[in-house]
Structure 1
Amino acid sequence: MGRRIVVSGGGTGIGLATAESFAADGDRVVILGRRAEVLRAAADKVNAAHGADLVTWTSADLSDPGQTRRAVEFIAADGPVDVVVTNAGGNVAPGNDGTLEGIADQFQRNFTANVLTAVLLTEGLLPHLTRPGGRIVHLSSVASLRGPGSYGGTKAHLHVYTYDLAKRLGAEGVTVNAVAPGYVQDTEFFGERGTPEFIAQQIGQTLTGQPGHPAEIAAAIRYLASPEGAYVTGQVLHINGGAQFGR
């Protein structure tokens, strides 16, 4: 029987591609997110593709300690966890009204969506993580190097958390890394901001002239989570086509 994998934000985009990648290897995957209907559809899609009930799901707002605790209890009821991928989040507050109150709200909302969702899930699952051999992979962003500040700063915070966890858990045989993608198409990340002009600008910042794809990010996550990745820890892997500041 394969390993047990947990992927937050697993209903769409990079999270779904990651769940699909692990399921293709016969691993059992639990996907998490806030939208039950999206998670159900994602699980059904992957399970139908592989002819097995490899993917289960539970909905939770992972910035809320109580909901995260319930999600952890749901996961732990089936035994230990081998891999945790924290993918939930996004630039949930791309703008503000210019007031100090609006700026504070913008920064707080992005911190809640990107830092707390990763930290609470990870800390909740630590007692259930396989030792040795456990793997933790956080999803960062090229924005951690170049902003925008309210979002990019939260992703940079995950780098510090990654380094701290790697030091805490290294002696126990657990690795902790982060993956920082650049522009990746076929995700919900940019929403209405993803106009053709905006997308062309993002792709134009790369050296390859090509966008990233969810499956490419999933492949990097799968490597870091693999037995072959045992000697890689405390690292941030930038995957952005050589975009400025991310080379």
Structure 2
Amino acid sequence: MDTLLLFKALILGIVEGLTEFLPISSTGHLIIIGSLLDYTDEQSKVFKIVIQLAAILAVCWFYRERIVRVVGGLGNDPAQRRFTGLLIVGFLPAAVLGLMFHSIIKNYLFNPLTVAGALIVGGLVILYVERKAYHPRVDSVEAMGWQDALKVGFAQAMAMFPGVSRSGATIMGGLIFGLSRKTATEFSFFLAIPTMFAATVYDVYKNWSLLHMADLPVFAVGFVASFVAAMLTVKALLRYVSSHDFTVFAWYRIVFGVIVLLTAQFGWVEWHAG
């Protein structure tokens, strides 16, 4: 097995785990870092599916007690049925729009320069939202209504554009629509479960012919790296939002995006589609 390829898998797995639940776009980072590492071939398409699955399984493990409680209560607990209903409502916009525009977005927008632009615009949006004095009216996920879930769901759908950030869109959307910072962050995590599982199943279906047993060691390294990094990130982010806003992530997005555009403008890096 190519040691360099395993190293690339380790780096990209860590990148996926660290960025999936931060408002900085995991897809965007994988496209940019994958281009830098020259890992943009057919194998990389399946690899990105595997490490994304690892990240969402990390969230499932983190919230395993809540998930077991929800599944166990579907038959006789109205609160758990209501919570499940909120997730379904929040999931629908991305599911419908994703099926409609998935191929177009993949073919035309998955490149480092469009990602860089989205990173900058998204950073400016976060700065704007954070400087507005939003007064939360919903202080827990249990207190959300179906209208709240639907609005956040439409915000999540904006993240189909690579570089926007699924977690960034849902968290910022939640703040705008009246959710507290902790509620918006937690609902973003929960909503990621059906959304990312559905995206993973769809991508596996579309790329089934690219799956090969010979690639298992590369996928295993990336999977483990992504799972561990995602677990650490979720714990850290929940602690962080209890006393901080997302301004630092906004500036990171803007600086990173500008650097990518400058390297392209002056020919310092030859970027390739991810």
Task: Confirm or deny a common fold (TM above 0.5).
Answer: no
Structure number having the greater strand percentage? 1
Structure number having the greater helix percentage? 2
Higher relative contact order (CA 8 A, sep 6+): 2
Q: Tell which structure's C-alpha radius of gyration is larger.
A: 2
**Under a length normalisation based on structure 2, what TM-score does the superposition of the two structures give?**
0.29
